[in-house]
Amino acid sequence: MINEANLRDALLAFTADAKSNYVMFSALNTEIEALRETVRALDPTFADVMAQKTKEIEAKNAAIVQAVIAGYDEKFRILTEGYVC
């Protein structure tokens, strides 16, 4: 049996975390865009270097990203199937 008060508290905590993460990522994206535009103005070859480095880092981190996403997918599956103990 699911304790509705605990479920409500968990949902409120998840929502607060999601909001906090959105605010943080939004601010971070703004800073990154400002830095990117600043460097582009200083170095015309920046776009090429950035594209190459992005590919390298994505390849390096691909396994970690896939593992984290798989973990979230598993949690969603468990919750969807009703195993909330």
33, 18: one domain: yes
Pair 46, 39: CB distance under 8 Å: yes
Length of the chain: 85
CB burial of 12-41 (b: ≥16 within 10 Å; e: otherwise) equals eeeeeeeeeeeeeeeeeeeeeeeeeeeeee
2, 36: one domain: yes
Report the number of distinct structural domains present in the chain.
2
pLDDT tens digits for 24-53? 999 999 999 999 999 999 998 999 999 999
Give me the domain span that covers residue 37. Answer: 1-42
According to the model, what pLDDT value does residue 1 have? 67
Q: What is the largest CA-CA distance in the chain?
A: 62
Pair 40, 47: CB distance under 8 Å: yes
Mean pLDDT of 4-15: 90
Pair 84, 2: CB distance under 8 Å: yes
